[in-house]
Amino acid sequence: MPERRTRLAILGSTGSIGRGVLDVASRHRDRFEVVSLSAWTSTEALSRQVDEWGASKVAVAPGSASRLEVSDGVSVLDGPDALEELAADPTVDLVVNALVGVSGLKPTMAAVRAGKRIALANKESLVAAGGLVMGAAAEMGAAIIPVDSEHSSIWRCLRGTPRGEVESLVLTASGGPLRDLPAHKIATAPLADVLAHPNWDMGEKVTVDSASLANKAMEVIEARWLFDVPFDRIEVLVHRESVVHSLVRLVDGSLLAHMGEPDMRIPIQYAMFYPEVPAGAFAGCRLEEVGALHFEGVDAARYPCFNLILGAGREGGTAPAAAAAADEVAVRAFSDGAIGFGDIAAVIERTLGSMQRSAAADLESVLATDAEARERASGEVERLAAAR
């Protein structure tokens, strides 16, 4: 047994992943303590978490500090660098980055530069700046452990598998909430249908991204950096049951698969305990109850965001950062009812088409691309909304 508990910083603690982290921690109170928590605007839920877990530091959106009800000893940060401060805190052992969107990038980089162990659920960090993040992690001795279920599964399959035996990585995709909709109805799918994910209970942004398969394209980019595997050796399969969370194809033609219930707490717990695997806790997967497993290729014609974002990833430089930013703006506009579901791809395509490309030389150039892409994407949203 370790002599002291793992000290956690949980960025984005009131979201779906953040709550999962606290659920796992509550099952192992002898192993984890919470140093810091953060939320953007859910100050009520955050106040309750701070109270329950005795966190000593907390970060909220600028101007939200006054809405937080916490005891006097808790230090409340609401400045522009608050999340980076929590991520680099020398008293923290494990930084959980469960932030949504490219806003997770700077805190990831702060944790990396501080040489932290990072449980990474914020895929945009690697989509926008994978080369920079992984390069800095290698230099600083920071460990990035994936929380995303697909990557967690691949990580597990690769444990003990010599790299020379790996032919390719195979990410599975549920196909999302719109998988059974006729192709001509996808562009006009209403928000309620888009949010009705058949297998996974996740936050709104990632659920919309699952419906468009933007999420899967981002996960391919994430895998490319996380496992240092070229795009040509990453496959995607649609697998309706979400029981096989991903696979590794070996050079002898065989496959390793990692299976389980679609319960995010399993990959979350794996990242929190890595390299240890604690027993019990979650329901075992009963394949006799699942019955059949189905697999098919991706019909990219149904999901234009998939090829757009993957194409940006393959292009490299600042293109994937621009694509991620445009997707974020478009998904927000769709969630707000300003544009249709089919317009998300249009916003990404037009934003990418209107931007100069450059090398992702440093964090500043990636963030400048992010800001420019947001501005251009917002302009596209306005045009599309006006034309409706």
Residues in the site for Mg ion, rule: CB under 5 A? 148-150
- Residue 328's CB is within 10 A of a number of other CB atoms, namely 23
| Closer by beta carbon to Mg ion, 14 or else 149 | 149
Minimum distance from residue 199 beta carbon to Mg ion (Å): 11
Answer for the pair 219, 301: CB distance below 8 angstroms, yes or no.
no
| Closer by beta carbon to Mg ion, 149 or else 269 | 149
Looking at residue 148, its amino acid is D
| Closer by beta carbon to Mg ion, 47 or else 108 | 108
Strand ranges across the sheet with 143-146: 75-77, 57-59, 32-38, 6-11, 94-97, 117-120, 143-146
Tokens representing residue 185 in the block: 């109805």
Minimum distance from residue 328 beta carbon to Mg ion (Å): 17
Q: Specify burial of residue 279 (Cβ count, 10 A radius: 0-12, 13-18, 19+).
A: exposed
| Closer by beta carbon to Mg ion, 148 or else 327 | 148
| Closer by beta carbon to Mg ion, 34 or else 96 | 96
Minimum distance from residue 35 beta carbon to Mg ion (Å): 27
Answer for the pair 200, 174: CB distance below 8 angstroms, yes or no.
yes
Closest CA to 265 of 52, 94, 26, 71: 26
Which residues neighbour 332 within 8 Å (Cβ) at sequence distance 6 or greater?
none
Which residues neighbour 143 within 8 Å (Cβ) at sequence distance 6 or greater?
116, 117, 118, 137
Minimum distance from residue 209 beta carbon to Mg ion (Å): 9
| Closer by beta carbon to Mg ion, 153 or else 351 | 153
* Partners of residue 369 on adjacent β-strands: none
| Closer by beta carbon to Mg ion, 124 or else 148 | 148
| Closer by beta carbon to Mg ion, 242 or else 369 | 242
| Closer by beta carbon to Mg ion, 138 or else 196 | 196
Minimum distance from residue 75 beta carbon to Mg ion (Å): 34
Compute the distance between CA of residue 232 and CA of residue 55 in angstroms, rounded to an integer.
44
Minimum distance from residue 269 beta carbon to Mg ion (Å): 16
Task: Say if strands 6-11 and 75-77 run parallel, antiparallel, or are unpaired.
Answer: unpaired
Sign of the Cα pseudo-torsion (98, 102, 106, 109, in order): positive
Closest residue to bound Mg ion by CB: 148
Minimum distance from residue 147 beta carbon to Mg ion (Å): 9
Minimum distance from residue 148 beta carbon to Mg ion (Å): 4
Minimum distance from residue 236 beta carbon to Mg ion (Å): 12
Query: Exposure pattern of 69-99 as b/e (b: 16+ CB <10 Å)?
Result: ebeeebeebeeeebbbbbbbbeebbbbbbbb
